[in-house]
Amino acid sequence: MYFESPTTKSEATKNPTSKMIQHTSKLPNVGTTIFTVMSQLAAKENAINLSQGFPNFPSDPKLIEMVQQALRENYNQYAPMPGAMILREAIAEKMEYLYQKKYCPETEVVVTVGATEAIYTIISAFVRPNDEVIIFTPAYDCYAPAVEVHGGKVVPIQLKGKEFEMDWNEVRSKINSKTKLMIINTPHNPSGTVLSKADMLELASILENTNIILLSDEVYEHIVFDGEKHQSAALFPKLAERTFITASFGKTFHNTGWRIGYCVAPKELMNEFKKVHQFNVFSVHHPTQIAIGKYLKIPENYLQLPAFFQEKRDFFLNAIKDSRFTWKPSQGTYFQVLSYEHITDELDTEFAKRLTREHKIASIPLSVFNTNKEDHKLLRFCFAKTEKTLADAAEILNKV
């Protein structure tokens, strides 16, 4: 899952004369995330950075003013442990409005430090040594280390080929009495594919009569294109009863640096979640929660996102239509995968670095997220950028 070759032993273990304390890494195979590696390389090379997923345009000034107001109104002490009530209520209202599923703001909604904390906390609260956790690769890179640090075993299922097809028979075959958790992600990072209603129904039938908990990572729930509807686990009662849904305001409201996300789940599951959350972070930045709570109550603030990002996707793809890259348009997320199979047979990790150094454009190679680093000659480009940046990027890509 990582780009740099990891250290297998600590420095101290390698060098016995060192005064460093002897220890054995709990995560010997973990290096620095590809997002950090590529963003750093982009900065060093002064390249256009379409690698790490973050917008280069500002958050709504109204939302920023709301945060300033909350600071002035002195929301500057600890927020309640599960989150400011105004935000929990707004989340519950949104879940009911979009997915007709009621979550109790008192007991079934928790505000977290981004989706990352929510994901880590779910895994920490439920996964014991030797428990199995099914993940689908290419997988977002925070899942596996969180499982491994708790002694769990990652059971990867590779989505097939360049179209990232799901093989539900393989899923059935990988489930056994040790399977504790399954992690799905729709819309999917890095592929830009989405799960269909038929997929979700199939999943519900597979999980029925098991005790498997589902973690449904839905951070891109508001970024689905071409008139399709996001198939939240909340829409399927048989899934919702066993599911934690995780989400990210950083992705929804263009402020990934604020680190505010949330998760929802049935009360019994959420009780266990809170036991870990309260001793991990206790509670999340208070003034930002108050502001997002007010902002989220206005549905237009998220309902306009599909059109907003689809325009960017289409602008970008139209601008590179004469390039030698090929693609299937992204169905969701703000990422577009491009194939370079007609350009070179270099490894994707090598080509991504060379594009950054020589052509001054940074992307993310997909193989780092795959089982056994399968390389399909695919790179991921983030199109959450201004038109100017996308036009400049396209000019470069057209010359490659």
Kindly state whether residue 52 participates in binding ligand PMP, applying the rule CB under 6 A.
Answer: no
**Bridge partners of 339?**
326, 378
- Minimum Å gap between C-beta 108 and ligand PMP is 19
What backbone phi and psi angles, to 5 degrees, belong to 215? Answer: -105, 115
Q: Which stretch binds ligand PMP (CB under 6 A): 192-200, 248-256, 285-293, 383-391?
A: 248-256
**Prior bond to 82 cis, omega within 30?**
no
Give the residue with the Cβ less far from ligand GLN, 37 or 84.
Answer: 37
The DSSP annotation for 252-309 comes to: HTT-GGG-EEEEE--HHHHHHHHHHHHHHTSS--HHHHHHHHHHHTSTHHHHTHHHHH
- Minimum Å gap between C-beta 54 and ligand GLN is 7
Residue 291 binds which entry of ligand GLN, ligand PMP, none, CB below 5-8 Å type-dependent: none
The DSSP annotation for 79-107 comes to: PPTT--HHHHHHHHHHHHHHH-----TTT
Question: 192, 330 in Cβ contact below 8 A?
Answer: yes
- Minimum Å gap between C-beta 35 and ligand GLN is 3
Question: 253, 308 in Cβ contact below 8 A?
Answer: no
Residue reference for tokens 């001054």: 360
Instruction: Give 329's contacts (C-beta < 8 A, 6+ positions apart).
Output: 225, 226, 313, 317, 336
Give the residue with the Cβ less far from ligand GLN, 52 or 288.
Answer: 52
The 105-124 site mask, x for binding ligand PMP (CB under 6 A), equals ---------xxx--------
Give the residue with the Cβ less far from ligand PMP, 295 or 319.
Answer: 295
Question: 78, 282 in Cβ contact below 8 A?
Answer: yes
Strand, coil or helix: what is 34? helix
Kindly state whether residue 52 participates in binding ligand GLN, applying the rule CB under 6 A.
Answer: yes
Kindly state whether residue 250 participates in binding ligand PMP, applying the rule CB under 6 A.
Answer: yes
| d(C-alpha 354, C-alpha 352), whole Å | 6
Kindly state whether residue 140 participates in binding ligand PMP, applying the rule CB under 6 A.
Answer: yes
The 185-224 site mask, x for binding ligand PMP (CB under 6 A), equals x---x---------------------------x-x-----
Give the residue with the Cβ less far from ligand PMP, 45 or 306.
Answer: 306
Kindly state whether residue 35 participates in binding ligand GLN, applying the rule CB under 6 A.
Answer: yes
Give the residue with the Cβ less far from ligand GLN, 189 or 191.
Answer: 189
Q: Which of 53, 55, 187, 192 binds ligand GLN (CB under 6 A)?
A: 53
Supply angle C-alpha 67, 120, 12, rounded to 5: 110
* Site for ligand PMP, rule CB under 6 A: 53, 114-116, 140, 185, 189, 217, 219, 248, 250-251, 256, 261
* Site for ligand GLN, rule CB under 6 A: 33, 35, 52-53, 189
